[in-house]
Chains A and B, each alone.
Chain A
Amino acid sequence: MTNFAYAIATWCFLTGGYVAQLVGAVQGLVCLIAGTMIGVFLTTMPLALGCHRYGLEQMDFCTPSFGTRGIKILLIFYLINMLGWSGLILVMFGNGIQNILEALGVQTGDWIVGAGVALGFWLSYLMVTRGVHLLNLATSIITPGLGVLIAYMFYVLFRDYGWDQIAAAQPLDPGPDPMKNYLICVEMGVAGGISWFGGVGFLARNTRRRRNAIYPELIQLGFMMGVVCSIALFSALVIQSDDPTEWMIPLGGVYLGVLALVFVALANITSTAVSLFASGLAIRHVHIFRDRKWWQLMVILIMPCVPFVFWPNELYDMGDAFLAFNGTMYGPISGILFADFLFLRRQKYNLWSIFEDHPKGSYHYAWGFNWIGIGSLLLGQAVYIWLYNPGTGATHALFYYINPSIAACVVPAVTYAIGMKLLGWHEKSVRISEELRNRSNNPVGQRLIDPNI
């Protein structure tokens, strides 16, 4: 249930809208479903298996690959991803408020969007500081409602327009090269799937059985996300707008459209609250934040999102580049985790070592950084941008043959595996850990634990 709520979060609407800019319904459908499934597979397999087995959240799980201090670098990427998406969907929340008011005959200015963002962050703050049970309650209400909404949109699209009209609808603003447009949409699908990195561990650690940690994520975060994105794609194509809040009223009429907008608004708040919660857990890896009160952490996390209040639509228009940018961050990390957890260490991590705060700890490496992991991560980002620069839209000739996210996943995986094998770091870690454990049983010795719970 939690997987589905997260999966059909309104960032699926955003993604579908972005794809509608470039390709039509058939190609878009394939890009979104197939691309998302590949991306989810790459990020889910090592994360879900490992976080489920060891009860870890994703940042701690990255410690063996990046070092006890190296994961702080990943934390920056992680927070950019979580908070960036939260800002974008709250701009949608603000747009939704504007559209609801205008549908009810109330004239507003653009300022209402920024005000909506501020209101959205405040409501999310209230939800996340009142306890996890409130999040669970919210998702248990919102999820069925969103499911009904998605099904209703699907029904109305085919009732009022039919497949022929949907398939014939032209993309909103395609580039001159149809193949490049298609491949960029493939990349949006793959990067969108890989973007689930921020939530996979958090979801998997709450399941009992291994298969429950994997299949629901592949099916719901992967396939279902693709389906929801596709419904958004079809809506954008027939309404000829990439703004999800502009689809509801034309599709459902005034009353149902307003109701749908209200539900989408609530879903936006819930998704933002989940993202803030997960971000709060992650930021406690940094010592200065560890002993902060929970509400203080939430305020600290919301502060960088203030630009979304003042420049909501400008930042919203950069959302497709942000989506692709996520591929530069999580593609390499996913590849390195694949190589490390599944191949080098055969799904065996040392839990003590993940939390040991000692210079001779197994995952301390050199000054707390696994330079092989970090170097491979940077190489992966360079490979991605060399193939496709999401900021400028520039592509290399090889972009037509190699997907950037997959390349950014495979190349670091290979360099990481070779580097770790050559230095033998993955084997050395087991021996040092045993040494430390024996030392801790000695009355003179002391085990140092650096918890983040």
Chain B
Amino acid sequence: MSPTPDTGKTPRELVVEDLERRIESLEALDDSALGRFTTLDWVICVVGSVLIPAVLLWWFA
């Protein structure tokens, strides 16, 4: 592919640069910036999505 006139880089090179920027940004992101998912959340999800449904399935079999 031919380079773009503004940057002198091919579209693929621009895509690679964009991806590298995104990766650097995501890797620099601290986990705390994305909010928490604690043990309590896991307990809620397991109980609500697995245990209670399993009991109901057994009960109505």
- The smallest beta-carbon distance between A284 and chain B, in angstroms, is 11
Known: A355-B19, A453-B18. A34 touches B41 (CB 8 A): no
Q: Are B45 and A351 in contact (CB under 8 A)?
A: no
A96–B41 alpha-carbon span in the complex (Å)? 42
A209–B34 alpha-carbon span in the complex (Å)? 5
**Size bin of chain A's contact surface:** 35 or more
**Size bin of chain B's contact surface:** 20 to 34
Known: A41-B49, A211-B35, A453-B15. A30 touches B56 (CB 8 A): yes
A34–B50 alpha-carbon span in the complex (Å)? 8
- Give the number of A-B contacts (CB < 8 Å): 80
0/1 string, B1-26, CB within 8 A of A gives 1: 10000000000000110111011001
Q: Give the secondary structure class of B's interface.
A: helix
Known: A31-B57, A38-B50, A179-B61. A352 touches B23 (CB 8 A): yes
- Residues of B with Cβ closer than 8 Å to A? 1, 15-16, 18-20, 22-23, 26-27, 31, 34-37, 41, 45-46, 48-50, 52-54, 56-57, 60-61
- Residues of A with Cβ closer than 8 Å to B? 26-27, 30-31, 33-35, 37-38, 40-41, 45, 49, 52-55, 179, 182-183, 186, 208-212, 214, 218, 222, 291, 351-352, 355, 447, 449, 451, 453
| 6 interchain residue pairs of minimum CB distance | A34-B53, A209-B35, A41-B49, A451-B19, A210-B37, A30-B60
Given A41-B49, A211-B41, A451-B18, 18 new contacts (CB under 8 A): A30-B57, A33-B53, A35-B53, A37-B49, A38-B54, A45-B45, A179-B61, A182-B61, A208-B34, A208-B35, A210-B35, A211-B36, A218-B48, A351-B27, A352-B27, A355-B19, A355-B23, A449-B19
